[in-house]
């Protein structure tokens, strides 16, 4: 288990480089990734199953104390979750219209903006000296609300470009998100004396699963990934993330939260669960609508690491 933890720490430290390597593999050797993207197990795609494993890993690290914390101090967690589901979707909608995006490109940006906060935000908040407990609470709430909020926001903001199957998307998101988290929590509660070994290895498993998801999405779009229209998404995705940090920070500042809480809110607003966004994009829309999520996945790890380092050193 110690070796698994050391490997996990190494991958986490160089995660962006690993992702860039996966990008090259997807572009020049797309067959393995395409196989993952097109494989189904029953009604579930392989990509969905990979994400469910990630969310099971999130669930198994949770305890009743995490839920108790939300109940005991609900205001900051609720306000942070509201900020996440207001600021990022609004910014996505604004950027889509500002840059004149349409079709799959517009849907992809809005889909990323409507996703819950990403698990990487907890790591960045920890490195920056933020309120990690608040981070976990907001991440938990935004994730549990995702089956309802994500299709609702997508229908409101992207309905002009695509038909959003609200009921099917809700059920799929519930199956992919809530059930694995609940299952992980249950395993932790039932086998709490023996579960630590699993918890120690889950970060490594989750990192591998996320890398495979990125490989699958990029490989499925390998023929169009270098198109001008695709490359034009890069500055838009970067701007979306950076504005999310800015407005998240200003929101926390406006509510007069302390410094650690401001850092937590900043990361929770600006960092998205891009793996969920890309999974739903492949499942319900054109594969090209998943490209924004993959770009976001690479970029927010870079920007989050830089911001955490600045805060840590100052």
CATH code, 250: 1.20.1530.20
pLDDT of residue 92: 95
pLDDT of residue 269: 93
- Separation between Cα atoms, residue 293 and residue 310, nearest integer Å: 25
- 218-271: per-residue pLDDT in tens? 787 777 766 666 778 889 999 999 999 999 999 999 998 988 899 999 999 998
Closest CA to 272 of 149, 127, 129: 149
- Separation between Cα atoms, residue 33 and residue 26, nearest integer Å: 7
- 21-44: per-residue pLDDT in tens? 887 888 888 888 888 888 887 777
- Separation between Cα atoms, residue 222 and residue 16, nearest integer Å: 19
- Separation between Cα atoms, residue 239 and residue 99, nearest integer Å: 12
Total domain count for the chain? 1
How many CB atoms neighbour CB 197 within 10 A? 10
How many CB atoms neighbour CB 247 within 10 A? 20
**Are the C-beta atoms of 164 and 150 separated by less than 8 Å?**
no
Instruction: Flag whether the pTM goes above 0.85.
Output: no
Structural domain that includes position 256: 1-312
pLDDT of residue 228: 64
**CA distances, 201 to each of 11, 91, 116, 207 (Å):** 13, 36, 24, 10
- Separation between Cα atoms, residue 215 and residue 47, nearest integer Å: 10
pLDDT band at 114 (very low <50, low <70, confident <90, very high): very high
pLDDT of residue 180: 85
Q: Please, what is the end-to-end C-alpha distance for the chain in angstroms?
A: 35
């Amino acid at each position: 288990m110690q070796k698994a933890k050391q490997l996990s720490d190494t991958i986490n430290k160089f995660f962006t480089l690993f992702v860039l390597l996966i990008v090259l593999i997807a572009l020049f050797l797309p067959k393995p990734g395409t196989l993952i993207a097109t494989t189904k197990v029953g009604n579930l795609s392989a990509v969905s199953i990979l994400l469910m494993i990630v969310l099971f890993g999130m669930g198994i690290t949770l305890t009743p104390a995490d839920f108790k914390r939300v109940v005991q101090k609900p205001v900051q967690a609720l306000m942070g979750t509201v900020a996440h589901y207001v600021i990022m979707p609004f910014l996505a909608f604004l950027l889509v219209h500002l840059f004149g995006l349409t079709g799959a490109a517009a849907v992809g940006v809005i889909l990323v903006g409507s996703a819950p906060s990403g698990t990487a935000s907890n790591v960045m908040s920890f490195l920056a000296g933020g309120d990690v407990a608040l981070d976990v609470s907001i991440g938990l709430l935004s994730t549990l609300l995702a089956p309802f909020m994500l299709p609702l926001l997508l229908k409101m903001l992207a309905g002009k470009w695509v038909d959003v199957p609200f009921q099917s998307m809700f059920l799929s998101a519930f199956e992919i998100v809530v059930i694995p988290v609940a299952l992980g929590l249950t395993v932790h509660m039932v086998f709490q004396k023996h579960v630590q070994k699993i918890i120690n290895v889950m970060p490594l498993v989750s990192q591998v699963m996320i890398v495979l998801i990125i490989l699958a999405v990029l490989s499925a779009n390998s023929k169009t990934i270098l198109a001008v229209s695709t490359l034009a998404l890069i500055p838009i995705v970067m701007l979306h993330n950076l504005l999310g940090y800015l407005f998240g920070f200003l929101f926390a500042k406006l509510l007069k939260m302390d410094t650690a809480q401001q850092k937590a809110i900043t990361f929770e607003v600006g960092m998205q669960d891009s793996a969920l966004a890309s999974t739903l994009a492949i499942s319900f829309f054109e594969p090209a609508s998943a490209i924004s999520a993959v770009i976001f996945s690479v970029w927010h790890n870079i920007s989050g690491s830089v911001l955490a380092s600045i805060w840590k050193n100052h």
